[in-house]
Amino acid sequence: MTHLTLIRPDDWHLHLRDGDIMAAVLPDTARRFARAIIMPNLKPPVTTVEQARAYRERILQALPTGMQFEPLMTLHLTETMPLTEIAKAKASGIVHAVKYYPADATTNSEFGVTDIRRCYPLFAAMEQHDIPLLMHGEVTDPTVDVFDREAIFIERHLAPLVQAFPGLRMVLEHITTSAAAAFVRETPNNVAATITPHHLLFNRNALFEKGLRPHYYCLPLLKREEHRQALIVAATSGNPSFFLGTDSAPHPRHAKESACGCAGIYSAHAALELYAEVFEQAGALDKLEAFASFHGPDFYQLPRNRDTLTLVRKEWTVASELSYGADMLVPLRAGAEVAWRLAE
Ligand code: NCD
Ligand code: ZN
């Protein structure tokens, strides 16, 4: 196959940041995706509908003229979020989900939740108003091995949550393990998962290939090959509970190449093309459209896009770095080839 035309996809997990650096990365996403679920982990985080509205305006302002893109906003859950914010979020029409981060799990998550049970009243309100809960599904218990954080989260927190709130729509974001894929497959359709291109393309060896590789450091961490294989099976299965979410998370080069480097991989510049590589290698290119363009809007109860996008099987070389405001950004596959490209 040399051409692949799909209904235009959406990205159901994206970090756009803010200001100049947002302006630098936004066109990469808008060129490929009609909509994206925008993560709220700014500094300070987006915790109110008013902040989400203002952030949404800044995103639309930063969009180059002639480009179409719809940011789907989220709120950052806190233990002190008033219950009334949930009703407001539903009524706003612009906030599409609330994001749970365990405190100190990842970039800017110092405002996250220390005890998930304190949020049960908020989950009840979200269930009542039918607002999805998005989860960074990792425990931060220092006695739990970092590679086991997701599996333990499922056991300790997610399983009880699914029991307690059978009507709450939930997305386990950026899943990385066979345990997560199996859990989502075996629970009813109110529990879904996003899968990133990097967790489909790489196992944890990538972090240590002939030296320490900070540009492969993201959270949740890359896992063993058997887990990568399980994610490929899930993504290409046609099961509507699995859909595209890049978790493209830019950081300036110096913040990655540092004694205490930031977590996050930038993939927006080639996101759909990289997924196409994975699906092609799995012999499942016919499953890409549903994963990228149907399952997400169906879960979020939004219309599927109507226009299309065409990929061409033609290699191109990714730049070794991209400009990122006053800094530089090292994209995934920097200086190397990607097998698919967007049609002109
Ligand atoms: C994300 C970021 O940099 O904002 N980093 C990452 O490794 N994925 C935060 C997150 O989604 O955990
Ligand atoms: Zn993320």
Per-residue pLDDT of 228-271, as tens digits, reads 999 999 999 999 999 999 999 999 999 999 999 999 999 999 99
How confident is residue 344, by pLDDT bands cut at 50, 70 and 90?
confident
Residue 321, class by beta-carbon neighbours within 10 Å (0-12 exposed, 13-18 middle, 19+ buried)?
Answer: middle
Whether 321 is covered by a domain: the verdict is: no
Whether ligand 1 lies within 6 angstroms of the CB of 173 is answered as: no
Cβ neighbourhood burial of 75 (10 Å; 0-12, 13-18, 19+): buried
Tell me, yes or no, whether 292 lies in a domain.
yes
Q: Is the pLDDT of residue 107 over 80?
A: no
Q: Look at residue 106 in the predicted model and tell me its pLDDT.
A: 75
Q: What CATH number did the domain enclosing 168 receive?
A: 3.20.20.140
Does residue 130 carry a catalytic annotation? no
Distance from chain centroid for Cα 158: 18
In a domain, 315, yes or no: no
Write down the catalytic residue from 20, 28, 247, 298. 247
Look at residue 34 in the predicted model and tell me its pLDDT.
98
Percentage of residues in the chain with pLDDT exceeding 90?
A: 97
Ligand 1 centroid, distance to 125 Cα (angstroms): 27
Evaluate: CB of 264 within 6 angstroms of ligand 1.
yes
Q: Residue 278 falls within a domain, yes or no?
A: yes
Is the sign of the CA dihedral 264, 266, 268, 273 positive or negative?
A: negative
Residue 109 in contact with residue 42, Cβ under 8 Å?
A: no
Measured in Å, residue 323 CA sits from the centre of ligand 2 at: 21
Tell me how far apart the alpha carbons of residues 232 and 142 are, in angstroms, rounded to a whole number: 30
Please report whether residue 340 resides in a domain.
Answer: no
Q: What residue spans of 137-217 are helical by DSSP H?
A: 149-153, 159-164, 178-186, 197-201
How far away, in angstroms, is 221 Cα from ligand 1 center?
10
Task: Find the domain containing 113 and state its range.
Answer: 9-300
pLDDT for 236: 98
To test ligand 1's pocket by mutation, which of 14, 106, 135, 260 has the most ligand atoms within 8 angstroms of CB?
106
Each residue's pLDDT tens digit, 166-210: 999 999 999 999 999 999 999 999 999 999 999 999 999 999 999
Residue type, 196: T
Alpha-carbon dihedral sign for residues 76, 80, 85, 86: positive
Note the pLDDT tens digit of each residue in 23-38. Answer: 999 999 999 999 999 9
Residue 305 is assigned to a structural domain of this protein? no
Q: Please, which pLDDT band fits residue 272 given cuts at 50, 70 and 90?
A: very high
* Burial of 221 (C-beta count, 10 Å sphere; 0-12/13-18/19+): middle
What is the rounded distance in angstroms from the CA atom of residue 52 to the CA atom of residue 279? 34
pTM of the model: 0.98
Q: Which two tokens stand for residue 250?
A: 């830019």
> Does any domain span residue 312?
no
**Residue 138 CA neighbour count, 13 Å, CB half:** 26
Please check whether residue 280 lies inside any domain of the structure.
Answer: yes
* Total tally of structural domains belonging to the chain: 1
User: Which ligand has its closest atom nearest to the C-alpha of 112?
Assistant: 1
- State both tokens at 199: 């967790």
User: Is the CB of 222 inside a 6 Å radius of any atom of ligand 1?
Assistant: no
Distance 3 CA to ligand 2 centre (A): 30
